[in-house]
Amino acid sequence: MGKALEIEGLNLDINGQTILSDVSMALEGGSFAAMCGRNGAGKSQLMRCIKGLRKPSGGRILLNGTEADEKARMKRIALVFQSAETQVVSQSVEKDIAFGPENMGLDKAEVERRVEAALTLMGLKEKARQRPQTLSGGELRKCAIAGIIAMEPEVILLDEPFANLDYPSTLAVIRALCALHERGYTLLVVSHEAEKFLFHTDTLLIMDGGSVMEAGSSPELFPKLRDYDVYIPSGAAFGDLTWLRR
């Protein structure tokens, strides 16, 4: 498989301040990538640029080998925000998941097929008719992810998907991410909580000071996280970096 996403020399200035500086990176199709880096490194701003919510000051973004403008990226790339509740808008879980595919103009049967598939994949079938406002934090995040996969995006970006989640909800989200990976989705998970999920990823990108400082295979690169103040339990081997085995 080729490169699903490529970023070349991306810059972002806000009010004369450099936020992102010459960011270059690539994601192989079907890869499960982690992006780590301290607070303020520029991870969320980079996600907003990739998605097309913010216009970079310079650089190129390619999808499947072809440069993609903001409109194309809005359609083909999904971004799950840190605060999933802002992404959930409807009266029931199933209606919320249907919202995206309906807006894409798909016919009713196709919308229903996609909602059913997303509910099953995220383990939310029993919650289909429940009001999103009554879901737990972990269920809500799974609902936001379900709504996004129903749009069948080429690349899924998740910004801090474990934030504010307790142990069972964290496990549920890690399982959901692994299920998406098995289905062949290209995933990029932004999180400083490397110890929770890094074992499941194949690619690690480390951001600092508005640039991608390191990129490579997760098992090889993870000891470097310490150099960038990202927490790894002392003495941990790569295989320990998951909460699914505790």
Ligand X SMILES: Nc1ncnc2c1ncn2[C@@H]1O[C@H](COP(=O)(O)OP(=O)(O)OP(=O)(O)O)[C@@H](O)[C@H]1O
**Which residues form the interface with Mg ion (CB under 5 A)?**
44
Kindly list the strands in the beta sheet with 155-159, ordered across the sheet, starting from the edge strand earlier in the chain. Answer: 77-80, 155-159, 186-190, 32-36, 203-208, 211-217
Contacted by 1, from Mg ion, ligand X, none: CB < 5 to 8 Å by type: none
Shortest Cβ distance from residue 111 to Mg ion (Å)? Answer: 32
Q: Name the phi and psi angles at 149, rounded to 5.
A: -70, -20
Shortest Cβ distance from residue 41 to Mg ion (Å)? Answer: 8
**Helices and strands: H and E segment counts in the chain:** 8, 10
Contacted by 157, from Mg ion, ligand X, none: CB < 5 to 8 Å by type: none
Q: Which is nearer to ligand X, 48 or 76 (CB)?
A: 48
Q: Which DSSP letter does residue 91 get?
A: S
Q: Is 9 in the site for ligand X (CB under 6 A)?
A: no
Residue choice 5, 25, 36, 41 for contact with ligand X (CB under 6 A): 41
Q: Which is nearer to Mg ion, 48 or 73 (CB)?
A: 48
Q: Is 14 in the site for ligand X (CB under 6 A)?
A: yes
Q: Is 196 in the site for ligand X (CB under 6 A)?
A: no
96 Cβ contact list (under 8 Å, min separation 6): 88, 89, 90, 132, 143, 147
Q: From residue 22, how far is each of 18, 28, 35 by CA, in Å? A: 10, 20, 16
Q: Which residues bind ligand X (CB under 6 A)?
A: 14-15, 17, 19, 37, 39-45, 192
